[in-house]
Amino acid sequence: MIKLLVTGGAGFIGSNFIYYLLENKPEYDIVCLDKLTYAGNLKTLDEALKSDRFRFVRGDIADREFVDALFKEEKFDKVVNFAAESHVDRSIESPEVFLRTNVMGTASLLDASRKYGVERYHQVSTDEVYGDLPLEAKDLFFTEETPIHTSSPYSASKASADLLTLAYFRTYGMNVTVSRCSNNYGPYHFPEKLIPLMISRALNDESLPVYGNGLNVRDWLYVEDHCKAIEMILDKGRAGEVYNIGGHNERTNIEVVRTILRQLGKPESLITYVKDRAGHDLRYAIDPAKISRELGWTPETDFDSGIKKTVEWYLNNRKWWEDIISGEYADYYEKMYSNK
Ligand code: NAD
Ligand code: TDX
C-alpha cells in the first residue's frame, strides 16, 4: 500500500481526487489533512469517511509543529498538496492569508517531507502563474517554458510556492513534481466561483454578476480529468518537472453563463454586467502536449458534456450548496467531532 497525504481534501478538487483514488486505485491508503476554512466542507467527505482506506485530520499546513508530528506518526510515502486559499477575488481584498497558507504552508510541507524521507511530493498549481494571453492571439498557449508573470496576490502566492518546490529539487535533490492546471469545474465546486455561483443563483432567480464585458476567456477542464492527470504524475512523473494540464476547452465567461441559463431554462435577463475585477486576466489557454506525450494523459470530458453533468449534479445535490449558502455547513465539524 502507498501511504498518501492529501492536503486540502475537504475542498473542491482535493475531495474529487480522494473519491477518484478510492474508486479506482486500491493501492492508496489516504490521510486527508484540512483546516476546514470557509472553503472546506466535511460533508463532502461523508462517503469517503466510511472507507477503511481513508482518515481525516483537521489541521493547518502552516502549523509547523503540527505538520511535523503528523509526518512523524504517519510516515507518508507520498504527499499531494491541494490546500490553498484559492479565490482570486478574496486575494484582492485580503492578500495576507494567501501568503501564509499558499507559501508558508507549502514550505512547512516541503520541510516535513524532506525530514521524514517522503518518496514524492506533488504541488498542485495553476495556469494563473503564467499571467494571461491576449484575446486576439488565438494560436498562443501556455507551455511549461512560458515565463512566470503573475497578476493577482493569489497567483503570485501560487508562483512562489512553485518556485520553492522546484528549489527543493535543485538544492536538496528532493523528488518533487508540479502541475499547472486550467480552470476546473464539476461536483463540490464552492459556490463563490463562476460556474457554481451562476448555477446556484440562477436556480434562485437571482441576478448573475458578469465582470466587465464578459469576454474574458477561461480554459475549462472537468475535475475528474485533472484528478487522473495528478495520479499519473504521482505515479510516473519525472522528478523536478512541471506538467501543464488542460483540454482545449476555451470559452468566454458570457458563453459559459448563457450555456448554464439555457440548460436550466432560465432567462438571459438575469445577467447583470458589473464592475470588472482589478487586474482581471484576459485569457488562459493550456498546451498539454508534454503530459500527453510523456505520460499518455488525455482529457475524456469535453465542455458540452461536462457542463451538462455539472448542472445535473447541482440540481440533484441542492442541499449541499444550500447549506453552504446558509452557512449551516460550518457547524458540521463541531457536530461530528465534538465528542471524538
Ligand atoms: P478550494 O478552495 O475548494 O479548497 C481548498 C481546501 O484547502 C479547503 O478544503 C480548505 O479548507 C483547505 N485549506 C485552506 N487553507 C488551509 C490550511 N492552511 N491548512 C489546511 N487546509 C487548508 O480549492 P480548489 O479549487 O479545490 O483548489 C485546490 C488546489 O488546486 C489549490 O491549490 C488551487 O490553487 C489549485 N487549482 C485550482 C483550480 C480551480 O479551477 N479550482 C485550477 C488550478 C489549480
Ligand atoms: O461573479 C463572478 N463573475 C465573473 O464574471 C465571478 C466569481 C467570476 N467572474 C469571472 C472572472 C473570471 O474571468 O469568471 C471567470 C472565472 O472566475 P473564477 O471562477 O473566480 O476563477 P478564476 O479567477 O479564473 O480562477 C480559477 O481558476 C484558476 C480558480 O478559482 C483558481 O483557484 C484557479 O487557480
197 CB within 6 A, ligand 2: yes
Asked whether the CA dihedral 58, 64, 67, 69 is positive or negative, the reply is negative
- CA 297 to ligand 2 center in whole angstroms: 25
Q: Are 285 and 140 in contact (CB under 8 A)?
A: yes
183 CB within 6 A, ligand 2: yes
Respond yes or no: is residue 128 known to be catalytic: yes
Q: Return the H-helix or E-strand segment holding 231.
A: helix 223-236
Please report the pLDDT score of residue 336 as a whole number.
Answer: 65
Tell which atom from ligand 1 comes closest to the C-alpha of 83: 7
191 CB within 6 A, ligand 2: no
Digits of tens for pLDDT over the chain (340 positions)?
Answer: 999 999 999 999 999 999 999 999 999 999 999 999 999 999 999 999 999 999 999 999 999 999 999 999 999 999 999 999 999 999 999 999 999 999 999 999 999 999 999 999 999 999 999 999 999 999 999 999 999 999 999 999 999 999 999 999 999 999 999 999 999 999 999 999 999 999 999 999 999 999 999 999 999 999 999 999 999 999 999 999 999 999 999 999 999 999 999 999 999 999 999 999 999 999 999 999 999 999 999 999 999 999 999 999 999 999 999 999 998 777 767 776 666 5
88 CB within 6 A, ligand 2: yes
CA distance linking residue 118 with residue 77, whole number of Å: 5
102 CB within 6 A, ligand 1: no
Beta-carbon count within 10 A of 145 CB: 9
- CA 82 to ligand 1 center in whole angstroms: 5
- CA 80 to ligand 2 center in whole angstroms: 23
Asked whether the CA dihedral 269, 194, 59, 94 is positive or negative, the reply is negative
Please report the pLDDT score of residue 113 as a whole number.
Answer: 99
- CA 192 to ligand 2 center in whole angstroms: 9
User: Ligand 2 test: best mutation among 178, 218, 222, 259, most atoms within 8 Å of CB?
Assistant: 218
Please report the pLDDT score of residue 330 as a whole number.
Answer: 74
Residue type, 75: K
- CA 84 to ligand 1 center in whole angstroms: 4
CA distance linking residue 328 with residue 262, whole number of Å: 30
C-alpha cell at 93: 481584498
Is domain 2-189+221-250+282-306 annotated with CATH 2.40.30.110?
no
Respond yes or no: is residue 154 known to be catalytic: yes
87 CB within 6 A, ligand 2: yes
- CA 254 to ligand 2 center in whole angstroms: 12
Please report the pLDDT score of residue 45 as a whole number.
Answer: 98
pTM above 0.85, yes or no: yes
216 CB within 6 A, ligand 2: yes
User: Ligand 1 test: best mutation among 13, 31, 36, most atoms within 8 Å of CB?
Assistant: 13
86 CB within 6 A, ligand 1: yes
Q: Are 53 and 28 in contact (CB under 8 A)?
A: yes
HSE (side-chain half, CA atoms, 13 Å) at 125: 33
Active-site annotation holder among 29, 128, 231, 250: 128
Active-site annotation holder among 29, 34, 85, 127: 127
Which bound ligand lies closest to the C-alpha atom of 255?
2
Respond yes or no: is residue 211 known to be catalytic: no
Please report the pLDDT score of residue 280 as a whole number.
Answer: 98
Active-site annotation holder among 20, 28, 154, 243: 154
CA distance linking residue 242 with residue 39, whole number of Å: 26
Please report the pLDDT score of residue 56 as a whole number.
Answer: 98
